[in-house]
Amino acid sequence: MTACLLKRRQVLVAGAAVLAGTTLARAHNGTVHVKIEKLAFQPAEIEARVGETIEWTNGDPFAHTATVKGGWEVTIPPGKTATHVVTADDTVDYYCRFHPNMKGRIRVAA
């Protein structure tokens, strides 16, 4: 029985390690959720399909943006959420205009 428990634990630990290493967030019910905390987009890289919604939730005490250079911009007030509906041209890098060190990436899935 001890050998069985050890194998089960090894499988669970390996599975957790694989999941922790995954960087792309996927949509749940058509919405990809991105948290903003401590001046960072979490996760920084997301994947979405055309027509899905990206929702940023700002947990910081100050405003942020999701800005695409030469493209669109979404303002996210402190403690609030803001959204963007994904288009075919949205495989982009984005950043916060107020805090340019905050960076993220959207990848449009086929």
Predicted local distance difference test score (pLDDT) of residue 21: 43
Of the candidates 48, 33, 54, 60, which has an alpha carbon nearest to the alpha carbon of residue 91? 48
In contact, 27 and 48? CB cutoff 8 Å: yes
Contacts 24+ apart (CB under 8 A), 56-63: 56/81, 56/82, 56/83, 57/33, 57/81, 58/82, 59/35, 60/36, 62/98, 63/98
Which residues, listed in sequence order, are joined to residue 54 by a DSSP beta bridge?
Answer: 32, 84
> Do the strands 64-67 and 41-42 form a parallel or antiparallel pair, or are they unpaired?
unpaired
- The pTM of this model reads 0.75
Predicted local distance difference test score (pLDDT) of residue 29: 77
Q: Can you give the pLDDT of all 110 residues of the chain as single tens digits? A: 555 544 655 555 444 443 444 445 555 678 999 999 999 999 999 999 999 999 999 999 999 999 999 999 999 999 999 999 999 999 999 999 999 999 999 999 97
> Do the strands 103-108 and 92-95 form a parallel or antiparallel pair, or are they unpaired?
antiparallel
> Do the strands 103-108 and 31-36 form a parallel or antiparallel pair, or are they unpaired?
unpaired
Residue bearing tokens 């005490």: 61
